[in-house]
Amino acid sequence: MLEVLQRLLVLQDRDRRILQLQEELLRIEPERQELRNRLAALEAQIEADRLAIKKLETQRKELELEVEAKKQLIEKYSLQQYQTRKNEEYRALAHEIEQCKEAIRQLEDRQLDLMEQAENTQRQVAALLQTAAETRRTVNQRLADLDQAEANLKRQLSQLETERTELAAQVDEPVRHRYHRLLKARGGNAVVPIDRGVCGGCHMHLSRHLVVACMAGQELVSCPNCGRLLYYTPGMDVNATD
C-alpha cells in the first residue's frame, strides 16, 4: 500500500473520531437544558401552589371579616328590636337578623370550602417538595456527570485535533485537498477498500484493471463512479469482473 494511503487512512480515522466526539458534545447541552427545565418546572409548580395557598388564606380572612360584620349587624338589629315598640319595625328587624344569619351560614360554608382547598393544595406542595428534592439530587448528579463527560470529550477532541493537524501536514497539499473534498462530499468516507472487487463506498463493481492497479500499490486509484480513493490490503477478496 502506498505510504500516502496509509497516512490518509490514519487521517480518516482521526476525522471520524473527531466527528463522533463533536456529535457527542452537541448532545450534552440539550440534555443539560432538559434536566434544568424539568427541575425548573417542578419548582415553578411548587411556587404556584404556594401562591394559591396564600390566595386561599387571604380569601378566607376576607370571609371572616364579612362574618364579623354580619355578627355586628345582628347585635345592632337586636338592640334596635329591644328599643322599638312598633311591631312592624320589630318584624323588619327580625327579618334583617335572619338574613344576616343566613349570610353567615353561607360565608362559613365558603370558609370551610376554602380551608379544604388549602389543605389539599398544602398536601400537594408537600408531595412536590419531596419529589423536587429527589429530582434535584438526581439532576445535580447527572449535571455533574455531564460536566465531567464534556470535559473529557473536549480533552480528547483537543488531542485528536492536534494529532490530525500533524497527520495532515504529512500529506502533500494536492492529495490533502482531494481527500478533504471527498471527505466532505462522501459523508466521511474518502478512502475505501476494494474488498470483493467492488468499491467500498458506492459498491460499484470495479474493472480488473483497476483492481490490479490498486493491488500494485504504485499510484493512487479512484473509483470511476464516486471518485473515492481505493486501497487494498492482503487478505481481501478481489474477485473482480470486467
Tell me how far apart the alpha carbons of residues 180 and 183 are, in angstroms, rounded to a whole number.
5
What whole-number percentage of the chain has pLDDT above 70? 98
pLDDT in tens, 2-18: 899 999 999 999 999 99
Report the predicted TM-score, pTM, of the whole model to 2 decimal places: 0.71
> Looking at residue 1, what is its pLDDT?
78
Domains, in order of start, for the chain: 20-169 (1.10.287.1490), 173-231 (no CATH)
Distance of CA 16 to the CA centre of its chain: 26
Neighbours of 94 (CB within 10 A): 13
> 195: pLDDT confidence band, cut at 50, 70 and 90?
confident
DSSP string computed for 80-135 = HHHH---HHHHHHHHHHHHHHHHHHHHHHHHHHHHHHHHHHHHHHHHHHHHHHHHH
Q: Is 214 in contact with 231 (CB distance < 8 Å)? A: yes
Average pLDDT for residues 183-194, to the nearest whole number?
Answer: 92
Task: Check pLDDT > 70 for residue 242.
Answer: no
Grid cell of 92 as nine digits: 323588619
